Structure 1
């Protein structure tokens, strides 16, 4: 099925073959040519070449590569497809999917290098794992726009030629017969094949025949003469000649060497011809290879200075529309989040809905602020502060990326004219100052929504975009001027920018803002994990393959803001999530908890406010939400039960006040006490198939098929003594207690408990009480001892598990045996 070889040749001429090729650069740089395109591959880059594509490469002096040839015929039988096309090119796109393939390729290379000829079952299992990964994430389907693009490159005539030879390779094939079948002259067809395939008709036929013959040669006991006849060669002499031209030896010698080495399609003597220094250096860099189904990370803490832990995620949560906040059940949920997670601000919008009784079209002095006062009074009485959206941001409830449950109206703006803006904003600010006092209001946040740009969320082209931008900035000038005239210290921010139309468009937009008088006190942004420059709404739009989407988003906007002179201006992410859907089962899952923890850790110090979307599933209730769980994006279910995403935030709250080290999967904190705190996760991003699905159509049981892999993660920690435990330095037999709280599919996952219960739609009060009490983190406590002033322990995380760990010196857990490690 798969043949593997190391490549040390600095170049390879243009050629084609039936096999699908995966080319991986271990060291050096390679200009890889596929048809008329050239890709620069550097260390650890790779790409796939589809069957029949002409390709060549030119490498640097130190080039070292690995090449996999996948049998098209065998794969076609396995997949039951006649036409197989892949799109896999790490130079054109990146993401965790590519990192997973990269790690698996390294594992295969390692197996070949260190264990050639040993444990062939394990090697074959790796090959099939690679095939599964490629099929699941990079095999093109007819729904994918790239499928047609690849199909177009392999034009209809070329495809018919390849298919004809594949179907008739074991029979005598004449160029004249093929020409007749295609209604072409023999002379024209001969030139066409030479140009398109890079070889003559006979050479191409023989290359296809050899592809089938080599499989027979290695995996059957047929005589060479029989193999020659079965694969279409006229006699053994012609077979031997063609074979020797390609493999530089005879079929009999090739088979004998292969059987003696017992190494599939890779032979150990070939490795000896490679510059061993290059290979040794390569494996030295990758000595911490993942083994089997568990990734291993060794984490040694040496940093003793640390930096302050800024709780940017606690600054604000999205509560819902103003009318939603009048509901007592949502108020209870917000109080819980404030009390347990220390959420400071609650964001709400849609002040002008019918339920709020606030008619902005009335004459000045007749506005009814009573229901707005109820909301503000509630927040302030319970220790929270308001984050108010002043624009006419409506309630919008999405079932999927293309299906809207509640659309939010078609208003062109807040008011009919500038006088209405001035009158209403002046009345509002005077009312707030009189009722709550200017010093109090200066601690609130106000935001002005940019409706015109928001309406084009899913569109690549924005008509009259500059005119719309100028209209928004003009409105901001007016509103900011009125508010600041009444209360100079009021804090007003821009309304929800993004990079969904590309970085250059955002830079052009904030550049235009320099022409206007009033500037924001902070900039606000929306971040949902969809690629920039999306296709129009009637096309399929993939989820971003970038697992670091939010971190990279914040990095990009800060660089763009600094470049345009907005240096140091606070950044508020007022909405962030991986999905806009409130009918996505992943919202209720452990994967969401790992996603939340990962992104909070990743973005510490990158934003002043990180406002999660959203607080409670109550916001997403509609006619179709009769089920106990329905895929809402809240931290809490509509019945107030905590989801894994909630526990991710609770864990982030229960750690030390100084950060001493952080990595891809962990954060280590502490203070001046005798404790270290660790939060860690094993987040698994979505695979390619997820992006092709309608988010609301995914079933709970399908989730494991839509993430990159199911590997566990083992973290091996080594800590010095905490700062407050200095009295134990140099002592022997110092006790240590290691306490771990864990959220995984077996504990604290309300979705998994509901799944195991059989998805009951209606729950009695006692059932609800059971689910609430059972959906809490598991706790494990172990005792350990300090060895040479170092604390070492390890923990294992399931896919999408999150953990909170406290390491306390000078204390034993009496229920555990001394010296037992955490596992």
Structure 2
């Protein structure tokens, strides 16, 4: 039996007996499957998920009309691609099977949609599944195998030793001595445990590693043979063909086009027509529906003001503010999202320290545009510790003089300086800045390396505030929450590394609502081109289209969040309701269960609104992935996009669907005739 390390869907699947190296997942789509694992037989039905663990013996028997999907992770894949670090066994007692099942359904849906492509990456469909398995892997084998007999523990240790040293010449006597057992008894026990002789087991291990090289590397066959313990190329080809009924070269060619049949027997057949599978997947998704009802009494709830986020455009390129086309994009972004500030990066600021920097026409043009359009202007200050401090301070003072001249022409303006420095450097910079700008605000920047300092200092130093910058992280941790509890006036800056970190932004926004903290998002100016669609978008090359989609999504999400106002009427991890005069805004987050669809019903009591009008806006995302709105079958049913509003006397009922991949914004207000 040869696993080609990809998702397969079978019309019937039959395996007499085999010993597993890695993790084998089976998902029954239709029919019944009789599976024996380590001698224990069980009949599985449709919608059942089966995990065959590492070093398990198993057999599979299916009926002719059965549909079953299989996904196999070999030991080399688990190590090299997903960093399992030679811990392959999964603790099934703690495994979240509902979450794993939802990911497999999603993978099958994606597999079907991309079925016609010439080449498809195995990782594209299976990365999230592997990450879930990684979370539940067994870290301590000694504890996990506590109830195993000593013989079984010895066999597991022997096989693991064989796997770690498969490239070497391994005779049976050497392995037997390793576990303090005589050769004859070891031969008997290994056959009893694995169901095959020692030489066959060793050959299976070596072929497993050679299969990985065939798929993921471009090595020649002779090198694959010698690298995986075979004496020569012909011996490797003969062993491969004898067991798998195909030559390694032909297998490598077929795997690229997904034409290789993983299991070779007459009773096993791959599905040719995937339309039936597609219908089953749609039913599984829609059948996994949960109803959630929430009653909200507007009179009894404790209201608090909404802390809406703001954002700064991080200027790293002078052309952003000097190119006419880029200027128009910047103004269009402000019309879309509202007022935002400009934060000049320390690289831009450092370039102004150069001699005669104030005379540079591009810099003059950049500042004239920023000041004329009344953007709030901030500077990131970061001195290079390797350079002469006195020389840097002199150049910094020249830059401040240039800013003072700008305020003469464009009126008195207050700048902000975000200083990334030690407290001593910060104090000296503050004195210099206040010589030229008395009312200018200076902010000391701290990061995760300064957690100890942030938790033990006040939120301001000599009337200057302190900010904490989160850079490239995916969410806020407990340590930061405890720091914020000590210093509630600490400003929070979040700077994502790439615009497709949608789940991170959502997580951080939820955290800010929960802790009443204002978060300032720092958005890179290099994303501006694709955040605002225009006629030139067609010129973007195909390789950047996916990235552009994620940047536009970032704009959509920021626009949603910045339009929130009024008081928080209700908040949990899935729903936020704000109220302002006769205006309700409902922000529905992706459900955290990530397994199917929620049907939610909000009963908002004690509300007296006669006639209402409603607008809704949906943003389809994928967690930390590029979005394809036409790709997922989950949203093919138009009814999932509908929002139903029932306006009874003193009671407003809002019904809608939420999934793991949609952010929904519902706007309800009193109708004015």
Tell me, yes or no, if the aligned pair for 1:742 and 1:801 is still in contact at 8 Å.
yes
Tell me, yes or no, if the aligned pair for 1:660 and 1:670 is still in contact at 8 Å.
yes
Superposed counterparts of 1:161-310, under 5 Å? 161=158, 182-184=175-177, 188-189=180-181, 292-304=287-299, 305-310=302-307
- After superposition, give the CA deviation of every residue in 1:259-289 in whole Å (9 maximum; x if it has no partner): xxxxxxxxxxxxxxxxxxxxxxxxxxxxxxx
Partner of 2:598: 713
Partner of 2:480: 557
SS of equivalent residue, structure 1 residue 301: strand
- After superposition, give the CA deviation of every residue in 1:217-243 in whole Å (9 maximum; x if it has no partner): xxxxxxxxxxxxxxxxxxxxxxxxxxx
Partner of 1:792: 653
Distance between the aligned counterparts of 1:562 and 1:438, measured in 2? 44
- Residue 620 of structure 1 deviates from its aligned partner by 9.8
SS of equivalent residue, structure 1 residue 321: coil
Give the counterpart of 2:417 among 446, 450, 468.
446
- Residue 134 of structure 1 deviates from its aligned partner by 9.8
Instruction: Pick closer, same or farther for the CA change 1:135–1:432 going to 2, 3 Å.
Output: closer
Instruction: Pick closer, same or farther for the CA change 1:751–1:69 going to 2, 3 Å.
Output: closer
Distance between the aligned counterparts of 2:290 and 2:173, measured in 1? 57
Tell me, yes or no, if the aligned pair for 2:605 and 2:652 is still in contact at 8 Å.
yes
- Residue 299 of structure 1 deviates from its aligned partner by 2.6
Partner of 1:494: 444
Q: Which has the higher contact order (CA 8 A, sep 6+)?
A: 2
Aligned pair count? 470
TM-score normalized by the length of structure 1:
0.46
- Residue 491 of structure 1 deviates from its aligned partner by 1.4
Tell me, yes or no, if the aligned pair for 1:677 and 1:806 is still in contact at 8 Å.
yes
Alignment of 1:664 with 2:573, yes or no, is yes
Q: What stretches of structure 1 of length at least 5 have no aligned partner?
A: 1-17, 22-49, 52-67, 92-97, 107-131, 166-177, 194-199, 210-289, 393-410, 451-471, 500-504, 530-548, 582-586, 638-642, 685-707, 729-733, 757-776, 813-823
Distance between the aligned counterparts of 1:672 and 1:353, measured in 2? 44
Instruction: Pick closer, same or farther for the CA change 1:779–1:710 going to 2, 3 Å.
Output: closer
Partner of 1:608: 518
- Residue 102 of structure 1 deviates from its aligned partner by 6.9
Superposed counterparts of 1:475-554, under 5 Å? 475-495=425-445, 497-499=446-448, 505-508=449-452, 520-529=464-473, 549-552=474-477
Distance between the aligned counterparts of 1:778 and 1:629, measured in 2? 34
- After superposition, give the CA deviation of every residue in 1:340-378 in whole Å (9 maximum; x if it has no partner): 211321212145589x6x35356xxx8436544433332
Partner of 1:460: none
Q: What stretches of structure 2 of length at least 5 have no aligned partner?
A: 1-19, 24-36, 39-49, 61-69, 79-86, 103-125, 146-151, 163-170, 196-284, 532-538, 633-637
Partner of 2:257: none
Instruction: Pick closer, same or farther for the CA change 1:297–1:475 going to 2, 3 Å.
Output: same
Partner of 1:576: 495
- Residue 301 of structure 1 deviates from its aligned partner by 1.8
- Residue 328 of structure 1 deviates from its aligned partner by 2.4
SS of equivalent residue, structure 1 residue 805: strand
Tell me, yes or no, if the aligned pair for 2:98 and 2:595 is still in contact at 8 Å.
no
Instruction: Pick closer, same or farther for the CA change 1:481–1:439 going to 2, 3 Å.
Output: farther
Distance between the aligned counterparts of 2:512 and 2:95, measured in 1? 21
Superposed counterparts of 1:121-200, under 5 Å? 136-139=130-133, 158-159=155-156, 161=158, 182-184=175-177, 188-189=180-181
Give the counterpart of 1:435 among 386, 402, 406.
406
SS of equivalent residue, structure 1 residue 74: strand
Tell me, yes or no, if the aligned pair for 2:568 and 2:579 is still in contact at 8 Å.
yes
RMSD across aligned positions (CA): 5.8
Tell me, yes or no, if the aligned pair for 1:449 and 1:494 is still in contact at 8 Å.
yes
Partner of 1:739: 615
- Residue 424 of structure 1 deviates from its aligned partner by 2.5
Partner of 1:28: none
- Residue 519 of structure 1 deviates from its aligned partner by 8.4
Tell me, yes or no, if the aligned pair for 2:311 and 2:341 is still in contact at 8 Å.
yes
Tell me, yes or no, if the aligned pair for 2:317 and 2:348 is still in contact at 8 Å.
no
- Residue 718 of structure 1 deviates from its aligned partner by 1.3
Alignment of 1:627 with 2:488, yes or no, is no
Alignment of 1:86 with 2:57, yes or no, is no
SS of equivalent residue, structure 2 residue 354: coil
- After superposition, give the CA deviation of every residue in 1:373-417 in whole Å (9 maximum; x if it has no partner): 43333223223211212336xxxxxxxxxxxxxxxxxx655xx42
Instruction: Pick closer, same or farther for the CA change 1:180–1:649 going to 2, 3 Å.
Output: closer
Instruction: Pick closer, same or farther for the CA change 1:183–1:389 going to 2, 3 Å.
Output: closer
Higher strand share: 2
Tell me, yes or no, if the aligned pair for 2:590 and 2:660 is still in contact at 8 Å.
yes
Distance between the aligned counterparts of 2:334 and 2:506, measured in 1? 18
Partner of 1:375: 366
Distance between the aligned counterparts of 2:664 and 2:544, measured in 1? 26
SS of equivalent residue, structure 1 residue 646: helix
Partner of 1:245: none
- Residue 324 of structure 1 deviates from its aligned partner by 3.3
Give the counterpart of 2:527 among 593, 597, 617.
617
Instruction: Pick closer, same or farther for the CA change 1:153–1:789 going to 2, 3 Å.
Output: closer
Distance between the aligned counterparts of 2:640 and 2:328, measured in 1? 27
SS of equivalent residue, structure 1 residue 79: strand
Instruction: Pick closer, same or farther for the CA change 1:655–1:19 going to 2, 3 Å.
Output: same
Distance between the aligned counterparts of 1:438 and 1:152, measured in 2? 74
SS of equivalent residue, structure 1 residue 425: helix
Distance between the aligned counterparts of 2:420 and 2:639, measured in 1? 42
Instruction: Pick closer, same or farther for the CA change 1:156–1:629 going to 2, 3 Å.
Output: same
Distance between the aligned counterparts of 2:178 and 2:307, measured in 1? 75
- Residue 666 of structure 1 deviates from its aligned partner by 1.9
- Residue 483 of structure 1 deviates from its aligned partner by 0.8
Distance between the aligned counterparts of 2:129 and 2:426, measured in 1? 50
Tell me, yes or no, if the aligned pair for 1:324 and 1:619 is still in contact at 8 Å.
no
Tell me, yes or no, if the aligned pair for 1:337 and 1:343 is still in contact at 8 Å.
no
Distance between the aligned counterparts of 1:518 and 1:423, measured in 2? 24
- Residue 434 of structure 1 deviates from its aligned partner by 4.2
Tell me, yes or no, if the aligned pair for 1:319 and 1:347 is still in contact at 8 Å.
yes
- Residue 660 of structure 1 deviates from its aligned partner by 0.8
Distance between the aligned counterparts of 1:181 and 1:782, measured in 2? 69
Instruction: Pick closer, same or farther for the CA change 1:612–1:601 going to 2, 3 Å.
Output: farther
Superposed counterparts of 1:589-608, under 5 Å? 596-604=505-513, 606-608=516-518
Tell me, yes or no, if the aligned pair for 1:498 and 1:525 is still in contact at 8 Å.
yes
Alignment of 1:317 with 2:313, yes or no, is yes
Distance between the aligned counterparts of 1:161 and 1:791, measured in 2? 67
Tell me, yes or no, if the aligned pair for 1:507 and 1:561 is still in contact at 8 Å.
no
Instruction: Pick closer, same or farther for the CA change 1:74–1:99 going to 2, 3 Å.
Output: closer
SS of equivalent residue, structure 1 residue 630: helix
Partner of 2:9: none
Distance between the aligned counterparts of 1:19 and 1:629, measured in 2? 37
Tell me, yes or no, if the aligned pair for 1:88 and 1:138 is still in contact at 8 Å.
no
- After superposition, give the CA deviation of every residue in 1:426-462 in whole Å (9 maximum; x if it has no partner): 3333332343269977743212345xxxxxxxxxxxx
